[in-house]
Every structure is written in structure tokens, then in C-alpha cells.
Amino acid sequence: MKSDYKYYAGKYDVIVIGAGHAGCEAALATARLGKKTLLLSLSLDAIALLACNPNIGGTGKGHLVREVDALGGEMGRVIDKSVIQMKMLNSSKGPAVHSLRGQTDKKKYQAIMKQTLEMQENLDLKQGEVFEIYVENNKVKGILTNTGAVYDADVVIVCSGTYLRGRIYIGEVNFPSGPYGLYPANELSKCLTNLGIKLRRFKTGTPARIHRDSIDFSKMEIQPGDEELIPFSFMTDRLEINQVPCYLTYTTEETHKIIRENIDRSPMYAGIMESVGPRYCPSIEDKVMRFADKTKHQVFIEPEGLDTCEMYVQGMSTTLPEEIQVKMLRTIPGLENAKIMRTAYAIEYDCIDATQLKRSLEHKEIENLFFAGQINGTSGYEEAAAQGIMAGINAVLKLRGEEPLILDRSEAYIGVLIDDIVTKEINEPYRMMTSRAEYRLTLRQDNADLRLTEKGYKIGLVSEERYKRMLEKKNQLEKELSRLKERILTPTKEINDFLGRLNSTPLKTPTSFYDLIKRPEITYDSLKEIDTDRPELSREVRMIVETEIKYEGYIAKQMRQIEQFKKLESKKLPKDIDYSQIKGLRIEARQKLNQIKPESVGQASRIAGVNPADINVLLIYLEQQKRLSKSGRSEKNE
């Protein structure tokens, strides 16, 4: 309940609302860049909460974590300190889709991140709910909290996650709540609406947690971690952990029968919930109803930590009533005696239409008001962290009077993520996937530091040590590629016998190691026996060397595509342009362009409802304006 009581509590350069994964990265970035920062959380026990799955990374998401790390962020370092199993996904496929995923000890992850925040210079951490964001003349001035505290601020970054008017749904039961049984934030939505910010209603869900001792693991397939471990952070030299296994089991036809018989008790199917959920993370009832031909679905059992008996039931997100959840789980091999500790649920929450934001994540109409994380309609810890660090960096650059850091789609997965949410009308919680990145062969997770560390260094977020480490890696890579081109093998019997053992055709003419590695059946490491002067390189550098050689032609083709992309991106559009006055544009294109106000022709080309013919009209318009401008300058000079 709001009160009229207020008192002046002080002034900060930056105030960050919410201490989830976006808020943590945003606050650390602004504080490390020298700005006095206040980070507010509804509960200090919810800082860096992993409210859903107990892992970081995965397909597409692992790329984001490594990019955050390359820019000087914290998520990668914290997961490396709290990881209990590490696995490289898609390792049997091409290097563009290799994605690191780490199972984490949830409580340890939170504890490490909280302590990092508490120890950070220039950063104050406080528990409190924000009731108002004060804006004067379309510029942020400060905030009001539930305790009556009024803070002045030059910048406010909203990272409120799924807490805004949160409501939990379990069968016929629903009640106001934030995730994990925490309090919701019920006042900030009204404030945002009053500021003219368009809100929408999204939802997400989470599976049940069951007691470890109620599981029969002998009926499941063990899922171990990798033997050779690769850390998330480029600053972690090595990982030495006793990995904890996960387990795989499957739903049965009996499971599906129970779901179908009780589908009318699911609030989604009963019409009680009308909000939009993530397409790429469907509930078990969605899977059963939409894929009726499938007789089973995968279920992964994952530990939530080393000091807890809670196990996460991956693949069984549901909103069915609690008693149905028990029946359903007990039809799955190994879960016949499962005891639920936390019931699965769906949560509805308010988020904003992110097309109201610039690519810097600043609001288009309200100066110095930034948004990051699930408030922008995204899903996932990694997407949130990526937006958080970018909002933090751009908030500081704004205060410095400098241009924002905009990563385009050819530079980073972060660029793809932000461009998608501010350009395209996202109608469901957005999830990063490798398929969203057009230039994924050059945006691999193994080269994130080579792509982004220098940018973080120039801003001041990357340390000298980290920067030098990146330069050393770059030097090793260039020297090794050069050495392999110069090192020539002659077609001797010894060499050809060796190649025969690798099922490779014999040499007929002198051939470089570089060209030999281009053969599909030969890897960089497989040549170790005959490559007597090869240097000692990390596994990651060896992988980059091999990728650069094997995919040389494809990479060159992609670089040419990137050049064309950059040409359209470089054609900037005036901020005050009125598209309704441009002849030749279709009505839908005029409406969409006036709504989004793209920064470049490239961004305009990615707006739904703007077609290639509209882009040609824009290019002609820009050329005409350019000629008029030159003509005007010539007349003035005369």
C-alpha cells in the first residue's frame, strides 16, 4: 500500500531497479566505470536468482555469456566458480553452433554474485521496492521507494524481470506472486503506464523440484559432463571440479493419457490465462497436445546444487493442478515414488514493448531511462545479462557525453538480440538461438574475446591484464596459422603410411600442413605425431586454428556478406524524418517506420511490414536529400 510519507535519501549517478542477471551486470558496469550506483532489489535473498533451470549457457545462450565476459562482465566468472558440471553442446556439428553449458550450484552462484556486488567500489546495494520514477521535461530525475525514500539520479535502468504484477498459476489456483514465491512488484507498472510506456502481458513457466531420495536413478540414463573442461570466462585458466551427473528419462503413454484427461484443468487451455508464453520452451501439456503422434518426450533430472536434495525436472514445465502433477510424474521411469518439493507453475508478468527503445536500450522519448532484461520481453538469464551490461555501458557513455556502444548483427550475438527486440515486434518471450544470427560462422563463442575485448578495453571496463591476454591469444593464432602455411610435408613413405592410418589419401606433391588440415578426415590434433615443432596451445586456440582453416572459404564468403550488410547499416536515417511525407512508401511501411524510427536503412530493412521496394524508396529519398544539401551549400558559398 502506498503512503504519502517521503524523505530525501540522497543522490546517485545511476540507479538500477532489480538485481536479477540484468541488474547485476548493469550495476557492476556503471560502478566499475566510476559512476556512483545504487542497486535496488525487492529482496536481497533474490539477488542473481536462478528462478528456473539450474544451468547457464546452452545453444546460442553460451555465446552470449562469453560475449558478456569478453566485454568485462561477471556472469562467466561466477559460473566458473559455482559450476558442478560442464558440457559442450552440439560438438558433433559445425563450430558455429558449439555452445557451452554449465550446471551450477544455485545457492553458490547467488552467494558469489551477491558478495561481488557487496565488495564493489562505487556500488550500494539496498532492499526496497520502487513505486515511482520521477521524470521532468522528458528526462529522468529520480525515484521513490516503498519506504518513502526519494533518490535523485541522472540515469535509471529498469531491470525488473518477471516481478511486475506477477501472478502464479497452478491449475485452478492463482495468486499474486513473484517467481520462486517471492513478493511481486505491484506499483511500478502503474508508473510506467503513466509515463506513456506501452506494456504487455507475457508468461513463463517452471517445472517441479523433487526430492533426490525419491528417485530411482537405476532406471535412467546417466548424463556425465565433458572430460576436457572449457571455462566460460576467458580469465579462468582451468576448471578442476568433481562433476555431478545429470540423468535422462522419458514420459510414457500413461503420462500423456493423464495430461489429456485433465487438460481442461490447465489454465492455459481453460482460457484463464491469455498471456503469451515462450514458443521454444513449451509446457508438457503443449508438447502432448501439439505433438500427438509422439509416444514419449525427454525428461532430464538435474541437481539444483551440492548442498540440497532438490532436483530440477527439465522438460516438465506445467500449469496442471498439484495433484495431477504428482500422478503425471509417477508414470515416468525412475520417478514412480517422486516427492514434489516445489510445485511447477506458470507466472504472468508485465513487460514493455521494446520497440519503444533505441538500440542503446534508452527509451526513445524519456532521456536517461534505460531498460534491460525480461522487462524487454526476453527470456533467460543470459539474454538478461547481455542487455544488462550494454545498458550499463551505454548509461555511462551517455553521462560522459559520448556516442553509445552499438554492437551490430555482424559483430555479436548481443547485437542480434538487441536489434531483434527493438526492431521487430516480439509477440512472445524472446529466446536467443544460433539460427537467429546470420553471420554465426564468424560469431563463434571461441572468438568472442577477439571480437569484443578491445571494445570493452577502450570504454574502460576491461582490465589491462584481460586485454593483454586477448592480444597474446590473437598473436598465438596468427603465428600458428602462418607456421602451418609455411611448414611443408613431402610425399615420403613414412608420411603416406601415417595418412593411410587416418584413412586419408597419400601425398603426391609437397603439401603444407595448412592444406592438409582442410581434408575432412584430418584434424589439427591428429597431426601431432608428425608435426614435431608445433607449439603448446590451449584447446580453444587449437579449435580456432582448425576452424579458420577448414571453413576458410565459407568465412571469406561471410565476410563479403558482412561488407554488404555494413553498407546499409552505414546509411543513417535522420531522427526527425516524417515517413508519411515520403512518396512511394506503402501505407503499412509509413506506419511501421514512424513507429520504430529506425537508425539506419539496414535496421529499416528488418522491420516487419517494410519490404525491399520500400527500402529502394528510402535509398532514393536519402540520395535526393544528399543532393539538395550539396546544392544548398553551393548556393550559400556563392
3-state secondary structure of 216: coil
| Grid cell at residue 315 | 522438460
CA distance 534 to 506: 22
CA distance 446 to 438: 17
Q: Are 122 and 31 in contact (CB under 8 A)?
A: yes
| Grid cell at residue 75 | 556472469
How many C-alpha atoms does 560 have within 13 Å on its Cβ side? 5
Q: Are 436 and 284 in contact (CB under 8 A)?
A: no
Per-residue pLDDT, 633: 56
| Grid cell at residue 250 | 522419458
Q: Which residues contact residue 33 at a Cβ distance below 8 angstroms, ignoring those fewer than 6 apart?
A: 392, 393, 396, 459, 460, 461
Distances (CA, A) of 495 to 489, 516, 528, 535: 8, 12, 12, 20
End-to-end Cα, the chain, rounded Å: 69
Pairing mode, if any, of strands 55-57 and 99-104? antiparallel
How many C-alpha atoms does 519 have within 13 Å on its Cβ side? 18
β-partners of residue 150 are: 8, 144
How many C-alpha atoms does 254 have within 13 Å on its Cβ side? 10
**Number of C-beta neighbours around residue 216 at 10 A:** 13
Encode 342-372 in three state secondary structure.
ECCEEEEEEEECHHHECCCCEECCCECEEEC
Q: Which residues contact residue 636 at a Cβ distance below 8 angstroms, ignoring those fewer than 6 apart?
A: none
Q: Are 181 and 163 in contact (CB under 8 A)?
A: no
Per-residue pLDDT, 628: 80
Q: State the helix-helix crossing angle for 464-486 and 448-459, rounded to 10 degrees.
A: 150
Instruction: Output phi, psi for 588, to 5 deg.
Output: -60, -40
Residue with cell 558440457: 87
Identify the segments of the chain with pLDDT beneath 70: 1, 631-638
| Grid cell at residue 330 | 509417477
CA distance 136 to 212: 54
Per-residue pLDDT, 426: 86
Per-residue pLDDT, 635: 52
Per-residue pLDDT, 13: 98
Per-residue pLDDT, 632: 61
Question: Whose CA is closest to 37, among 164, 179, 159?
Answer: 159
CA distance 469 to 178: 41
Q: Are 355 and 423 in contact (CB under 8 A)?
A: yes
CA distance 225 to 227: 7
Sign, Cα dihedral of 458, 460, 464, 469: negative
Q: Are 66 and 412 in contact (CB under 8 A)?
A: no
Per-residue pLDDT, 269: 84
CA distance 476 to 450: 12
Helices (H) and strands (E) in the chain, counts: 20, 22
How many C-alpha atoms does 91 have within 13 Å on its Cβ side? 12
DSSP 8-state class, residue 21: H
Q: Which residues contact residue 546 at a Cβ distance below 8 angstroms, ignoring those fewer than 6 apart?
A: 517, 523, 524
CA distance 366 to 135: 8
CA distance 425 to 52: 26
Q: What share of the chain is helix, strand, coil (3-state, %, to 5)?
A: 40, 20, 40
Q: State the helix-helix crossing angle for 106-119 and 75-82, rounded to 10 degrees.
A: 130
3-state secondary structure of 8: strand
pLDDT digit string, tens, across residues 448-492: 999 999 999 999 999 999 999 999 999 999 999 999 999 999 999
Alpha helices for 44-164 (secondary structure H): 61-70, 75-82, 106-119
- What's the pTM value of the predicted model, to 2 decimals? 0.94
